[in-house]
């Protein structure tokens, strides 16, 4: 457990309240009344729970004043601002405004997954609009260059700016975790997405794409490991601060003797490292779990139906909702693997199940086989798969909610495991209360079969649920190893001190006796509460909080990348360098805002 000081403790110096050094650094002063910080530039009150709030306001609104870097210049600037003398920020020149517009359009094109050549089309559209609506302003388009070559370079420039900001923030990470996703590239299977989640001393969470690794060039686990370590070193992240790993279920990741996780854990074993927690159930939960419960190759049959509907039934009104859902996921055209993976989602299966009679009628009308509709075992398996995948969908949606911390995610996992036990008992008793689709199939079959003819085989589905239970136990066993840490983090005032390790009991008893902290705990969210907790008074509890907060609590950022790929698979399948692919995925997944003025004026930091 992390609460047991087997290894070196974190050294965290947590400032509380307004800090005097913020005045010169971020041009703010302590307000006369209330909390937060008063900005000397815009005279707005910044609601600040810690330094990041003040920093974000400064970087977003007043980054221009970074040109005053010398100590004397900075002090003089603060004094001028105190007296209300606001230095004018140099306005952008017409050329710089045109460049900024081009950068903004480039980012939009990247977010929408459009090809490099579509910038010229956007330019022509804008030119036509201005000529008809604002003919006197057509000249503003002269300085905007959206040619393919310029667009490609701007994507790289935006990526470099975002990367620089991430690396600057990573220096302050007290703990971090990695998410390794080798299943996002469903159409290619030759890239590994590496995401990082880090927290600073104020427990502000940052989730970003760290790197993309070409698996064809890093085929062996050793080469893959070296590429990840190189990316960590470039970002200034040491293994001593790594807390957790979340991965997919593939053998490349979790192979017992040759998986990447085993290599990473061996590398992280040293007196100065923490126990690295690994769990492999968060990423693509529905997709990968479906392989365990699809007992009769249901998905393969359904995918053939969908191909026929897309080619010969596209105008049929009964299929419009299904086709719309398909196109919203991956466009009008889709390769077989993307289609197969889309069908493995609970929401999709449920929609197709509701259309099974219409699909049968359609298949008969075009002369296609309908043998599955006369196979009672196949129909029961279909209903069972729909029900189980719908339950998994509910869990998957809960695990997509970010910034709730791993303790809440672990509660969802434990609740689902209890639910599986309930489903196991209900199937054994032939109680189909929680199997709506299977119950519907059984009721329909009873109308056409003899009373004494067996319809439902409970043992068949008990085996499937048992297999799913074992998979969950295997993939999330490390979270159970730190169960007490998670419980302490989520409920520090109700956690019984006698059940805590000896090393933390004194701190926990002191915390629970503090009325002021109890009031803060009730009125603030967990992140805010622990951000304000003194590291000097509660070093062990604060250390546990930083580690738990750094664990991935959702699959949101991975799902964002997966969705970006499936929606834009044809654009991304065109020849792209790894550098451009990396840039596009960073732009699509980041929560960091590019520093536009720096990009326009060529002040982008260079990183190795």
Q: Per-residue DSSP letters for 302-344?
A: HHHHHHHHHHH-TT-GGGHHHHHHHHHHH-S---HHHHHHHHT
Tokens for 54?
A: 């003040």
Please report the sign of the dihedral spanned by the C-alpha atoms of residue 215, residue 218, residue 223, residue 228: negative
Kindly state whether residues 244 and 363 are assigned to the same domain: no
275 and 321 co-located in one domain = no
Residues 601 and 537 in one domain: no
Q: Which of 104 and 137 is assigned the larger pLDDT?
A: 104
Per-residue pLDDT band for 26 (boundaries 50, 70, 90) equals confident
Q: Are residues 325 and 344 in the same domain?
A: yes
pLDDT one-digit tens code per residue, 142-167: 888 889 899 999 999 999 999 999 99
Q: Is the dihedral of CA 570, 571, 575, 580 positive or negative?
A: negative
Q: Is residue 255 part of a domain?
A: yes
* pLDDT of amino acid 607: 40
Q: Are residue 254 and residue 148 in the same domain, yes or no?
A: yes
Residue 11 lies inside a defined structural domain of this protein:
no
Q: pLDDT confidence of 5, banded at 50, 70, 90?
A: very low
Per-residue confidence (pLDDT) for residue 269, from 0 to 100: 63
Lowest mean pLDDT among 129-143, 230-244, 362-376, 534-548: 129-143
pLDDT digits (tens, 9 = 90+) for 33-86: 777 888 888 888 887 667 777 887 887 777 777 767 666 778 888 888 887 776
Q: Is residue 27 part of a domain?
A: yes
Domain count, the chain: 4
Tens digit of each residue's pLDDT (9 = 90 or more) over 206-229: 999 999 999 888 888 889 999 999
1 within domain boundaries: no
Segment 101-128 mean pLDDT: 88
With a cut of 60, say whether residue 279 has pLDDT above it.
yes
- Whole-number Å distance between alpha carbons of 113 and 568: 5
Mean pLDDT of 264-289: 74
Give the pLDDT of residue 608: 39
The domain boundary, picked from 59, 81, 103, lies at 81
pLDDT at 9 over 70: no
Residues 300, 183 share a domain: no
User: Is pLDDT larger for residue 15 or for residue 339?
Assistant: 339
Domain encompassing residue 37:
18-81
Strand partners, 179: 195, 246
> Residue 474: what pLDDT?
86
**Mean pLDDT rounded to a whole number for the chain:** 83
pTM of the model: 0.81
Q: Residues 230-240: pLDDT tens digits?
A: 999 999 998 88
Q: pLDDT-derived band of residue 13, with 50, 70 and 90 as boundaries?
A: very low
d(CA 247, CA 238): 20
Which pLDDT score is estimated for 1? 55
| Residue predicted with more confidence, 64 or 19 | 19
More confidently predicted of 348 and 103: 103
Q: Taking 50 as the threshold, does the pLDDT of residue 435 lie above it?
A: yes
128 in any annotated domain: yes
Indicate if 318 and 400 belong to the same structural domain.
yes
What pLDDT score does 91 carry?
A: 67
| Beta carbons of 170 and 236 less than 8 angstroms apart | yes
Instruction: Identify the pLDDT of residue 79.
Output: 83
At 280 the pLDDT is 85
Asked if residue 524 and residue 429 are part of one domain, the reply reads no
Q: What is the mean pLDDT of residues 536-543?
A: 90
Task: Summarize the confidence of residues 567-587 as an average pLDDT.
Answer: 82
Q: CA dihedral in degrees (262, 410, 387, 250; nearest 10)?
A: -10
Are 201 and 133 in the same domain?
Answer: yes
Task: Walk across the sheet containing 37-39 and list its strands.
Answer: 28-29, 37-39, 45-46
Residue 539: inside a domain: yes
Q: Which pLDDT belongs to residue 49?
A: 61
Does the structure show a pLDDT above 50 at 606?
Answer: no
What percent of the chain is predicted at pLDDT more than 70? Answer: 87
């Amino acid at each position: 457990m992390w609460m047991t000081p087997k290894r070196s403790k974190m050294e965290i110096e947590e400032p509380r309240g307004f800090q005097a050094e913020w005045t010169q650094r971020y041009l703010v002063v302590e307000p006369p009344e209330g909390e937060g910080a008063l900005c000397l530039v815009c005279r707005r009150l910044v609601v600040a729970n810690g330094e990041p709030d003040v920093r974000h306001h400064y970087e977003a609104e007043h980054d221009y004043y970074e040109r005053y870097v010398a100590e004397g210049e900075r002090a003089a600037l603060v004094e001028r601002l105190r007296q209300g003398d606001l230095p004018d920020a140099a306005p952008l020149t017409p050329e710089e405004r045109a460049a900024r517009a081009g950068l903004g359009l480039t980012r939009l094109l990247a977010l929408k997954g459009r090809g490099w050549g579509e910038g010229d089309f956007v330019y022509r559209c804008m030119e036509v609009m201005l000529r008809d609506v604002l003919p006197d302003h057509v000249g503003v388009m002269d300085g905007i260059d959206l040619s393919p070559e310029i667009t490609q370079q701007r994507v790289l420039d935006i990526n470099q700016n975002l990367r620089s900001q991430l690396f600057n923030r990573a220096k302050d990470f007290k703990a971090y975790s990695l998410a390794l996703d080798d299943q996002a590239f469903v159409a290619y299977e030759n890239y590994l997405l590496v995401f990082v989640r880090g927290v600073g001393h104020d427990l502000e969470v940052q989730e970003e794409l760290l790197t993309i690794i070409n698996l064809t060039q890093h085929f062996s686990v050793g080469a893959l490991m070296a590429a990840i370590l190189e990316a960590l070193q470039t970002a200034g992240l040491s293994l001593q601060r790594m807390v957790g790993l979340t991965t997919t279920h593939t053998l490349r990741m979790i192979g017992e003797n040759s998986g990447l996780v085993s290599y990473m854990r061996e590398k992280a074993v040293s007196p100065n490292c923490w126990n690295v927690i690994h769990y492999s159930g968060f990423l693509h939960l529905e997709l990968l779990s479906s392989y365990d419960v699809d007992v009769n190759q249901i998905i393969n049959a359904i995918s053939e139906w969908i191909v026929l509907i897309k080619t010969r039934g596209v105008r049929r009104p009964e299929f419009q909702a299904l086709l719309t859902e398909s196109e919203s996921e991956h466009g009008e055209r889709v390769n077989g693997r993307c289609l197969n993976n889309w069908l493995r989602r609970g929401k999709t299966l449920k929609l197709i199940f509701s259309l099974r009679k219409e699909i049968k009628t359609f298949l008969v009308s075009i002369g296609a086989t309908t043998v599955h509709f006369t196979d009672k075992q196949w129909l029961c398996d279909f209903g069972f798969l729909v029900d189980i995948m719908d339950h998994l969908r509910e869990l998957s949606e809960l695990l997509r909610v970010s910034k709730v911390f791993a303790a809440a995610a672990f509660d969802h996992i434990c609740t689902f495991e209890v639910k599986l036990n309930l489903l196991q008992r209900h199937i054994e008793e032939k109680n189909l209360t929680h199997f709506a689709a299977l119950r519907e199939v059984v009721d329909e079959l009873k109308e056409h079969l003899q009373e004494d003819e067996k319809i439902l085989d409970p043992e068949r589905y008990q085996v499937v649920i048992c297999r799913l239970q074992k998979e969950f136990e295997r993939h999330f066993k490390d979270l159970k190893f730190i169960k007490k840490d998670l419980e302490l983090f989520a409920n520090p005032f109700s956690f019984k001190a006698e059940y805590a390790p000896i090393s933390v009991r004194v701190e926990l008893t002191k915390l629970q006796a503090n009325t002021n902290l109890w009031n803060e705990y009730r009125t603030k969210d967990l992140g805010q509460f622990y951000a304000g907790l003194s590291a000097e008074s509660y070093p062990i509890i604060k250390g546990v909080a930083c580690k738990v907060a750094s664990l991935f609590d959702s699959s949101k950022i991975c799902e964002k990348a997966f969705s970006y790929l499936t929606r834009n698979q044809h654009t991304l399948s065109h020849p792209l360098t790894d550098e451009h692919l990396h840039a596009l995925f960073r732009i699509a997944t980041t929560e960091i805002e590019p520093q536009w003025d720096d990009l326009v004026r060529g002040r982008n930091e260079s990183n190795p």
